[in-house]
Amino acid sequence: MHIHDIKPHDGAESTDVHVYRPGDVTEDMLHEIAALRLRVWQPYVDKSSNAHRRTLEDWIDAVDHKAYHLTIMDLDDPTKIAGAARLSLHDSLEDIPEPSIPKNFPDWQPDLPYAFFGRLVVEPHDRHHGFAHRLDARRSELAKELGAKMALMLAAPWRQASLEKIGCETIGTIAAEDLGYIDEVGVFLFKRLL
C-alpha cells in the first residue's frame, strides 16, 4: 500500500515515514488522521473567534481524498498514527487548498506544477523526535519525484525557522481573519524543488 519507506537520519527513533497514494488511504485511516488533527488542533480552534471545526468530519475535506498522505507511527504503540502530513499536486494557484493565499498574494505565481504541503500534525507526546522534520523532508522528496517544481505551504509562525532551515523561503504572512480558523497569522512559504 505505501510506495516508499525511509529510515530516519539524524539518530532519531527508528520510525519509518509511510507514504500512501491517493486512493490507497482507507476511510479508517483517514478517520484516524482526522482524529489526530482534532485532538491536537482543537484547543487552538476552541480559543479562536473563528472556531467552527468541532467534529471529526470537519477535519476531512475533498483534498484528503485526492492527496498523498504521509504517516509516522507512535513510539509507544506502533499501531497508532503519531504524525501525519498531506501533499497535493496542482496546476494553478486558483485550485490551492488554502484560498487565502491567492487573495493575499494576487501577483505572486508559483512554478507549475506545484505541490501544496498541508495538515502536518504530530501527537504532543511524540514531539521532539524529529517527526515533523522527517515528514517535511519526505514530502519534499516525494513532490520532486512526482514532478513538482515548487512546494508551497502555510505554516504557523513557530514553524517558520525550521522550514527555512530545509530550504523554504518566506513570501509573507496572512492575517488570522483571512484564514478563518485560528487567531494567529499564517506564514506562507515556498521551496524550489529543481
Identify the pLDDT of residue 175: 84
Identify the pLDDT of residue 94: 85
Identify the pLDDT of residue 15: 65
Number of H helices, E strands in the chain: 5, 8
Give dist(CA 167, CA 150) in Å, integer: 11
- 116: β partners: 88, 152
Identify the pLDDT of residue 58: 74
Identify the pLDDT of residue 46: 62
pLDDT per residue rounded down to tens, the chain (194 residues): 444 443 333 333 436 999 999 989 999 999 999 999 988 887 666 665 555 556 777 778 899 999 999 999 998 899 999 999 999 999 998 899 988 889 889 998 999 999 999 999 999 988 889 999 999 999 999 999 999 999 999 988 888 998 998 899 999 998 877 776 555 678 898 999 97
Identify the pLDDT of residue 3: 42
Query: Which of 25-55 are b and which e, b meaning 16 or more Cβ less than 10 Å from the residue's Cβ?
Result: beeebbebbbebbbebbeeebeebeeeebee
Give dist(CA 86, CA 138) in Å, integer: 11
